[in-house]
């Protein structure tokens, strides 16, 4: 089947399509029904089937390729590198599962994992899967307050953590943050299991905290059988990035997720058993769940877990890893590529990258300048893919494993199998035609692998995401998009990032894309700011490649004019920003997404609200600074 045929089948006859895809994984007991949509918009996939994520990721491969690499843990923070074969990974996961079992963890219990990017974090996730326990990984960079709210929401029996993470060679103690979070939280976990890396002093609380290394020693030969789960039992909870507000606890199933990953690893990522996959994300995010831990292993690939900066010891570090481990497929984010773009090209050219076949990027709009730069530097296909924590795998991309379709600059691609993507006009509720802007929605049933519900709150799930249009249940992505006549989509930004200038609705993304074409622009954020006359005006904040070009106020004014001129020529005067400010840093979430709502709030003199997901609070001060400096 080519792409069009497979896509068509996935929408018109999802049962047949997904029954076929389900053969990519091992089932302990077969399912009796492919799809149950009787409680719409909630979807059940592979009803009655029994399977297990740990079995499919680890045990399944031990028989045929037990001695081949499975997990490659590299840290440039502690200068360590360790390769675990599938057999060794199975042994470590089993030891970890045995430890958890002695701590009383069993099927359905929640285990919160607050860990740096070390192998033990993956062992812990897979050990939970083995036991049927529900993991909730919380990004290691979050501080006490964010952690406490997630502890209260997930109510874990056990927390797995570590003495410290490390960033730029500096230890970041986790344990004091965790202790404070447990003090703040109403729910108290019975046990805290700690992996001591000897990076920071750590005080163990009597009767609550236990040392992993000591307990592991007692279970070296442990055998822990797989707990087979019904396909629709929960596997994990993961909170969204919190770019737009309070994070939502996305709950996922077992069977549907395993099938979606196996399917996407083949159809989108073209993964082959024995090859190496390198995703530069973090286990705290959805990319880390789907494409660092579960996806590549389910596909029988070796997966790289990297702790460290993309620029240390130098900007060549990722490419040296690609060369050394013959990485075939790599997954990163535009924000990381923009960081590397500021460095000399020589850091890439120095390495033999002949093993690399494609680079996948997701998480933020990929601007054309960045995309063209990295494509030229690596000489491989750059494949943008658009999705959300909620969907678990790409909604839009290019399915090179099905058909070698061309990519289109600025577009994350076409709808992936099972995603019934529709654009709706926000005002009229009508479906959009080609080249008409609308809100990107997914008509139910959602394909396997997507969010089952918001953890513990079915009502919030329905009221947040679902509405009924023309009699059908539709899920809103809260992103704004457009589709061309050939079915390629373009994401124009989040629906709350759309601005209204004198009655014209403009996506901030379009203006940003236009500004980023100016040769001296490295990064840009555009927000809509309240204006008495026009309703809203666009205001741009620009990071320059060469900041010296805006050293004097005359130079700034000249550059501002130039940038306004670029927008005028490309989009027209309505889109021209009222002001262009030059800044050294932009506020981002810890997952690297621009916090436009915070910039907007400051521009309008409001409080930016819940900023627990922000990477560097100092960046908000910079915004306030340029606003008062220039008025």
Within 215-254, which residues bind Mg ion (CB under 5 A)? 240
Cα distance between residue 593 and residue 39, in whole Å: 34
| Contact pattern from residue 479 through residue 498 relative to ligand ATP, giving x for each residue in contact according to CB under 6 A and a dash for the rest | x-----------x--x----
Nearest Cα to Cα of residue 22 among 227, 297, 256: 256
Tell me which H or E stretch contains 63. Answer: helix 60-65
Answer with the entry of Mg ion, ligand ATP, none that 384 interacts with (C-beta below 5 to 8 A by kind). ligand ATP
Q: Residue 140's closest CA among 211, 98, 188, 195?
A: 195
| Nearer of residues 162 and 243 to ligand ATP, judged by Cβ | 243
Coil, helix or strand at residue 534? coil
Q: Does 177 bind ligand ATP (CB under 6 A)?
A: no
User: What's 573's DSSP letter?
Assistant: G
Contact window for ligand ATP (CB under 6 A) among 97-105, 235-243, 421-429, 498-506: 235-243
What single string gives the DSSP state of each residue in 316-327?
A: THHHHHHHHHTE
Q: Give me the least distance between CB of 217 and Mg ion, in Å please.
A: 43
CB nearer to Mg ion: pick between 85 and 240: 240
Locate all alpha helices (DSSP H) within 350-469, ordered by sequence. 368-378, 458-465
Stretch that binds ligand ATP, among 125-133, 386-394, 542-550, 621-629 (CB under 6 A): 386-394
Of 146 and 240, nearer to Mg ion (C-beta) is: 240
Strand 236-239 to strand 276-279: parallel, antiparallel, or no bridges (unpaired)? unpaired
> Which C-beta is closer to ligand ATP: that of 49 or that of 242?
242
What is the size of the binding site for ligand ATP (CB under 6 A)?
A: 25
Contact partner, 307, from ligand ATP, Mg ion, none, Cβ < 5-8 Å per class: none
Distances (CA, A) of 220 to 93, 213, 223, 313, 497: 11, 11, 9, 35, 53
| The residue count for the chain | 631
Rounded to whole angstroms, the Cα distance separating 118 from 143 reads 19
In the structure, how many helices (H) and strands (E) does the chain have? 21, 33
Q: Which is nearer to Mg ion, 244 or 320 (CB)?
A: 244
The CA distances from residue 77 to 2, 118, 199, 214, in Å, are 45, 11, 11, 24
State the minimum distance, in angstroms, from the CB of residue 73 to ligand ATP. 24
Residue pair 94/70 in contact (Cβ under 8 Å)? The answer is no
Q: Give CA–CA dist 85/67, Å, rounded.
A: 5
Q: Does 597 bind ligand ATP (CB under 6 A)?
A: no
**Least distance from C-beta 588 to ligand ATP, angstroms?**
10
Among all residues, whose Cβ is closest to Mg ion? 240
Question: What would the x/- binding string for Mg ion be over residues 138 to 177, using CB under 5 A?
Answer: ----------------------------------------
Nearest CA among 372, 363, 422 for reference residue 243: 363
412 lines the binding site for ligand ATP (CB under 6 A): yes
- Please identify, among the stretches 105-113, 238-246, 403-411, 517-525, the one whose residues bind ligand ATP according to the rule CB under 6 A: 238-246
Cα dihedral 140, 146, 149, 154 in deg (nearest 10): -20
Q: To the nearest 10°, report the CA torsion of 511, 512, 516, 520.
A: 100
**Nearest CB to ligand ATP, comparing residues 166 and 495:** 495
The stretch near ligand ATP (CB under 6 A) out of 150-158, 210-218, 360-368, 572-580 is 360-368
- In the bound state with Mg ion, the residue whose beta carbon lies nearer, of 231 and 240, is 240
- R_g of the chain computed on alpha carbons: 24
Tell me how far, at minimum, the Cβ of 593 lies from ligand ATP, in Å: 5
| The one among 144, 280, 477, 612 contacting ligand ATP by CB under 6 A | 477
Question: Which residue, 390 or 513, has its beta carbon nearer to Mg ion?
Answer: 390
Q: Which stretch binds ligand ATP (CB under 6 A): 146-154, 229-237, 345-353, 361-369?
A: 361-369
Q: How far is the CB of 424 from Mg ion (least distance, A)?
A: 18
Which window, 35-43, 157-165, 380-388, 426-434, contacts ligand ATP (CB under 6 A)? 380-388
Contact 521, 504 (CB under 8 A): no
**Exposed/middle/buried for residue 44 (C-beta within 10 Å: 0-12, 13-18, 19+):** buried
**Which residue, 27 or 475, is less far from ligand ATP as judged by CB?**
475
Q: Which of 161, 191, 241, 619 binds ligand ATP (CB under 6 A)?
A: 241
With 0-12 / 13-18 / 19 or more C-beta atoms within 10 angstroms meaning exposed / middle / buried, residue 608 is middle
Residue 479: name its binding partner from ligand ATP, Mg ion, none (Cβ under 5 to 8 Å by kind). Answer: ligand ATP
Q: DSSP assignment of 410-432, as one string?
A: T--BEEPTT-EEEEE-TTT-PBP
Instruction: Give least dist CB 57 to ligand ATP, A.
Output: 22
Q: In angstroms, what is the minimal distance from the CB of 599 to Mg ion? A: 18
Residues 219, 401: Cα–Cα separation, whole Å: 42
Using CB under 5 A as the criterion, which residues of the chain lie in contact with Mg ion when the complex forms? 240
Using CB under 6 A as the criterion, which residues of the chain lie in contact with ligand ATP when the complex forms? 240-245, 247, 362-366, 384-389, 412, 477, 479, 491, 494, 591, 593
């Amino acid at each position: 089947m080519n792409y069009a045929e497979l896509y068509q089948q996935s929408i018109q006859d999802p049962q047949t399509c997904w029954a076929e895809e389900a053969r990519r994984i091992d089932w302990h007991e077969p399912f009796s029904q492919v799809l149950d949509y009787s409680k719409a918009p909630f979807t059940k996939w592979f009803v009655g089937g029994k399977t297990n994520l740990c079995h499919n990721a680890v045990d399944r491969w031990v028989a045929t390729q037990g001695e081949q690499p499975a997990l490659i843990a590299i840290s440039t923070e502690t200068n360590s590198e360790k390769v675990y074969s599938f057999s060794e990974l199975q042994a470590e996961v089993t030891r970890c599962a045995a430890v958890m079992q002695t701590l009383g963890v069993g099927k359905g219990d929640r285990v919160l994992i607050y860990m740096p990017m070390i192998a033990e974090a993956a062992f812990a996730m897979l050990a939970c899967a083995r036991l049927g326990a529900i993991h909730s990984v919380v990004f290691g960079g979050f501080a006490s307050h964010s952690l406490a709210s997630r502890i209260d929401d997930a109510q874990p029996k056990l927390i797995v953590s570590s003495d410290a993470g490390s960033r730029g060679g500096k230890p970041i103690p986790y344990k004091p943050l965790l202790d404070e979070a447990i003090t703040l939280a109403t729910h108290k976990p019975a046990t805290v299991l700690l992996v001591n890396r000897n990076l920071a002093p750590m005080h163990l609380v009597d009767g609550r905290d236990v040392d992993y290394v000591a307990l592991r020693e007692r279970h070296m030969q442990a055998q822990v059988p797989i707990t087979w789960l019904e396909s629709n039992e929960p596997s994990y909870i993961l909170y969204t990035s919190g770019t737009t507000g309070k994070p939502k606890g996305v709950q996922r199933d077992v069977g549907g997720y395993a099938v979606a990953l196996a399917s996407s690893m083949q159809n989108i990522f073209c993964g082959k058993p024995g090859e190496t996959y390198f995703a530069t994300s973090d286990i705290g995010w959805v990319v880390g769940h789907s494409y660092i831990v579960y996806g590549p292993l389910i596909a029988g690939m070796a997966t790289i877990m990297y702790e460290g900066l993309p620029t240390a010891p130098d900007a060549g570090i990722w490419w040296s890893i690609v060369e050394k481990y013959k990485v075939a497929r790599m997954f990163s984010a535009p924000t990381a590529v923009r960081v590397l773009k500021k460095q000399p090209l020589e850091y890439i050219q120095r390495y033999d990258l002949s093993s690399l076949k494609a680079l996948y990027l997701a998480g933020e709009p990929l601007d054309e300048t960045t995309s063209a730069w990295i494509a030229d530097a690596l000489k491989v296909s750059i494949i943008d893919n658009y999705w959300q924590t909620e969907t678990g795998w790409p909604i839009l991309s290019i399915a090179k494993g099905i058909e070698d379709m061309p990519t289109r600059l600025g577009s994350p691609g076409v709808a992936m199998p099972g995603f019934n993507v529709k654009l709706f006009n926000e005002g009229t509720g009508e479906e959009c035609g080609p080249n008409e802007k609308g809100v990107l929605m997914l008509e139910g049933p959602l394909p396997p692998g997507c969010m089952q519900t918001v953890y513990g709150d079915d009502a919030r799930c329905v009221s947040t995401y679902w509405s009924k249009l023309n009699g059908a249940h539709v899920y809103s992505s809260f992103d704004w998009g457009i589709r061309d006549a050939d079915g390629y989509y373009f994401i124009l930004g989040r629906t709350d990032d759309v601005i209204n200038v004198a009655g014209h609705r403009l996506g901030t993304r379009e203006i940003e894309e236009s500004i980023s074409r100016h040769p001296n622009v490295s990064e840009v954020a555009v927000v809509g700011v309240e204006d008495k006359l026009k309703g809203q005006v666009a205001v741009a904040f620009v990071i320059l490649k060469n900041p010296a070009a805006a050293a004097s106020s005359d130079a700034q004014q000249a550059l501002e004019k130039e940038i306004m001129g670029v927008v005028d020529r490309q989009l027209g005067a309505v889109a021209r920003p009222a002001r262009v400010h030059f800044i050294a840093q932009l506020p981002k979430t810890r997952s690297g997404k621009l916090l436009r709502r915070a910039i907007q709030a400051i521009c309008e003199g409001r409080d930016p609200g819940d900023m627990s997901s922000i990477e560097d609070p100092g960046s908000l001060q910079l915004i306030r600074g340029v606003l008062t400096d220039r008025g």
